[in-house]
A and B are shown apart, each in its own frame.
Chain A
Amino acid sequence: MSLVSASLHASRRSAWFLAALAPANVALRHPARWQTRSVKTQPAYEGHIPLNWFEAGFLTLGSAFMSLANPRRGDMVAALGDLTSGPVLPRLRDSMLESAEGRQILKDRPRINSDTVDMNKLALLPEGTFGNAYVTWLERCGVTPDTREPVHYVDDPELAYVMQRYRECHDFYHCILNMPVNVEAELAVKFFEFANLGIPMTGLAAAFGHLRLTHAKRQRLFRDFVPWAVKCGSSAQSLITVYWEKRWEQNVEEMKQELGVWDSPVEPRWGKPLSEARAAAQKRGETQLQQQAS
């Protein structure tokens, strides 16, 4: 027993003495023998990749560079988001714990993808409901909820879920703000998210994402959308606490009033639907055929 308290004491006080190559979180393990490992390199959840400080720094720099160089690398944007989210995730989790809806989310840990969300059922809902609006928006933009990279680099499983939840709800924010998926609209939503949730990656995207726009587009973004996005985001309720899956039948306008969001003063540019949804549907059809054949 004294060995336990001794190693507890040692771990807590001298955490920073630990070999510099230890991963960021120091989890205590009950020592069974004389050889104590006070750092954990086992994955804490499915998809978890523990990194030590050097690896985390290396990946942060590498993913930042890669995200700017090739913004289509969604996995790099996700990695940068994971690595920079450190101080904010506990705050978001606490705000979830403060609301009844948020607590339910943390208990249930719902996921959003085509398996958990029945798109056909939502399409049948009456016009004006949130479920119908969501499906309409998905079709209009040509995207699916399946292309989100899972969280890898957050060490605590609950905080990793909060991050995953944020990523999966991103499309819902698009939907209630009535924003398409082109670059300017994405940046507007990022400004909104930064004002509302405070996640550093959204701030980085907001700060650097517009550098790749043409001058005219950037002007339009900052004149028409950014003031609205920031005002709306900062005054709205923290959207991470909203249990979207329980609100499919709710009227959209009513929901927007409840959450404190309103449409942008200027209508954004809606382009052609992307091929993402079509490609995903094709792949689903192929796998179904394969399963039927085998």
Chain B
Amino acid sequence: MQRTLRLAHPRLVLSNCRPHCPSSLVAARRNHQSAPQSTQTQASASASSSTFNDNRDSQRTTHFGFQTVPEEAKESLVRNVFDSVASSYDLMNDAMSLGVHRLWKDEFVSRLKPGSRGPLRCIDVAGGTGDIALRILDFAREKYADRETSVDVVDINGEMLKEGYKRFKKTMYHNTPQIAFKEANAQAMPESEFPSNTYDVYTIAFGIRNCTSVPDVLREAYRVLKPGGTFACLEFSHVNNPLFRTVYDQYSFSVIPLLGTILAGDRASYQYLVESIRKFPPQPDFAKMIQDAGFSTGALHEGKGGAWIDLWDGIASIHTGVKL
């Protein structure tokens, strides 16, 4: 009697389960299935014609969580996700990670040691609500009495920047030259606002996996950094230990979308979140991408002298590189 043990492999199982999606995600799926011509306004995809396009080579696709979507669509889909999560972003981070994201971000910033060698010009990309920026400024101030270090918070999403601006209003950095908020696309930051070779530190925390083209982001990072500048990326990554990975997967796919449903009334955005984590390249691949962008990194292994550091055995990892 053959009966398979149903492996708790949520990645494969739950990719079939497409629950209640906001219309943008439903439109994306319909969009993909009917293979329309690539247009600029993919967000209103349901209005586009559904004639089959024979020129498939003009149709490049990418992943949006476990779904496949046209490349042009991903940006607006991600924008919809972040528009909807912006107001409860910080609360949800605390709820989903049980507060551990604070430890990760503290570790990330303390590795950078901002202010230890004089004031720095930092740029924090996809930094919406200002978690990293605030930590950088506080670290420099508390450890090194540095009040000249400045951070430019850049985000593609205006709602997230608004939340960051609100949060900074409650701090001493509001209306000082130490903080600035700019709306821009990390893949194409305008040269007028972000001239080349300007920044000492480029950070991007939990943002790069939402970008459509990671190599473009890395290229822009390389451009805006000064020679000798540091690139640092904190991102969810792949867990090494298989048992821990199973537990983590179970937690991710069962609890996190439900927390989204209960706390934020939005299941689809958090389903996207946990799926996008699985779609991101594993640590060695991402380290190779950083090297390909021109950065000098450590050897392709984890730990001391390596290109990355794993936090909590790979739930998150910090990749660093230096522009020579």
List residues of chain A with CB under 8 Å of any chain B CB. Answer: 3, 6-7, 9-10, 14, 18-19, 21-22, 34-39, 41-43, 47-50, 52, 54-55, 58-59, 62-63, 66, 73, 75-76, 79, 150, 152, 294
Contacts and interface: CB of A to CB of B under 8 A. Distances in A.
A254 B45 CA distance: 50
B315 interface: no
Interface in B276-298: none
Contact of A18 (B6, B16, B267): B6
Given A54-B254, A294-B47, A7 B267 contact: no
Tier of interface size on chain B? 20 to 34
Contacts of B261: 59, 62, 75, 79
Given A54-B254, A59-B262, A73-B265, A36 B4 contact: yes
B324 interface: no
Interface in B246-294: 250, 254-255, 258-259, 261-263, 265, 267
B192 interface: no
A37 B19 contact: no
A149 to B, nearest CB: 10
A121 to B, nearest CB: 29
Nearest to A75: B265
23 contacts: A9-B1, A10-B1, A18-B6, A19-B7, A37-B4, A41-B13, A41-B16, A42-B17, A43-B17, A47-B19, A47-B20, A49-B17, A49-B20, A54-B254, A55-B254, A55-B258, A58-B255, A58-B258, A59-B258, A62-B262, A66-B263, A75-B265, A76-B265
A210 to B, nearest CB: 24
Contacts of A59: 258, 261-262
A48 B18 CA distance: 8
Contacts, number: 75
Contacts of B5: 19
Contacts of A38: 3, 6
A36 B2 contact: yes
A35 B258 contact: no
Contacts of B1: 6-7, 9-10
Contacts of B254: 21, 52, 54-55, 58
The dominant DSSP class at the A interface is: loop
Nearest to A73: B265
Contacts of B188: none
A5 B34 CA distance: 40
Contacts of A22: 6
B122 to A, nearest CB: 39
Contacts of A54: 254
Given A55-B258, A58-B255, A48 B19 contact: yes
Given A43-B17, A49-B19, A50-B17, A37 B6 contact: yes
Given A6-B2, A43-B18, 10 more contacts: A9-B1, A10-B1, A21-B8, A36-B3, A42-B17, A43-B19, A49-B267, A55-B254, A59-B258, A59-B262
Nearest to B253: A55
B16 A34 contact: no
A10 B4 CA distance: 11
Contacts of B265: 73, 75-76
Nearest to B5: A19
Given A43-B17, A43-B18, A49-B17, A76 B3 contact: no
B14 interface: yes
Nearest to A76: B262
Given A62-B262, A75-B265, A14 B3 contact: yes
Contacts of B255: 55, 58
